[in-house]
Each structure stands twice: as structure tokens, then as C-alpha cells.
Amino acid sequence: MPPLMLESLAADPDALSVQPSFSLPGAHSLPALKEQQELRSGIRHLLGLSTFERLTEELSSLADFIVSTLFAAESRKRRNSGARLAVFALGKYGTREITFDADLDLLFVAGAAGNNGPARMERLASGLMGALT
């Protein structure tokens, strides 16, 4: 949504009823996208356009988008295409019940690799955590 979100919503309140789709157009950053989508989901909930369960699902989907986007970026940055590293969501994130400013509890599991494989996977996981922070 544009920077003047509240003005846009006042002009077209039906825009809130549409399910958000996440993308990262040109100048947007992930923190800006996160803030905009959290605000949008919160307003939808406050206006009674979504249930609490729907709110937590929207926030969980936003977290999925951010984690997967950053994982792909870290993999490209470290030239780890095809990295055998799985990322599991735990806690409220794992049950898709996260709320505003929730922690994302993540578990990393690496597949067997060559001599320097474990160190590469550890650097990838550490890079992802740094990017999320």
C-alpha cells in the first residue's frame, strides 16, 4: 500500500476486504512491507472485517514471506543454491498463531554435506538470523 495508507483506505474502504498478497516492488524494503501489512491486518481486525484467527493467519503468512525471501537472498549471497538446510517454525509461529511483535522461533536442520558443509550451513543460518534481526 502507498505511504498514505489511511487516506487510501478512507477513499476505498473495500480495499481492506481483499486478501493481501505479498510482493516486494522496487523501492519497498522488508521492514516497510512488514509495517504496512501489520497495520492493514490490524485495521481489518479492529473494523470487524477479520476474526482473530484470520489476523494471526495473515501475520503468519507475512512472516513466511519474509523468512523465505531472506533465506533466498542469503543463499544467493553465499552462493549456496541447492543448500540442504531446512527451516522449521516452532511455537506460535509454527502453529500459525503469531501476533504483533511476536518472536519467530526457528529451528535449522542441515543435511549431510562435504568437508566444509556444516560450517557453510551454519554461516547460512547465522546470516538468515542476522537479516531477520
**What pLDDT sits at residue 20?**
61
User: Quick check: 132 and 74 in contact, CB under 8 A?
Assistant: no
**In this predicted structure, what is the pLDDT of residue 101?**
84
* pLDDT per residue as tens digits for the range 22-65: 665 544 688 888 888 898 899 889 888 889 999 999 999 999 99
Single pTM value for the model: 0.78
pLDDT, position 99: 94
Exposed / middle / buried, residue 93 (Cβ in 10 Å: 0-12, 13-18, 19+): buried
Q: What is the pLDDT of residue 84?
A: 78
For 61-117, the pLDDT digits (tens) are: 999 999 999 998 888 887 776 667 889 999 999 999 999 988 999 999 987 666 567
Residue 84 main-chain phi, psi, to 5 deg: -95, 70
What pLDDT is stored for residue 1 in this prediction? 45
d(CA 104, CA 11): 35
Contacts of 81-87 with CB under 8 Å at 24 or more apart are: 83/120, 83/121, 83/124, 84/110, 84/111, 84/112, 84/113, 84/117, 84/121, 85/109, 85/110, 85/111, 85/121, 85/124, 85/125, 86/110, 86/111, 87/128
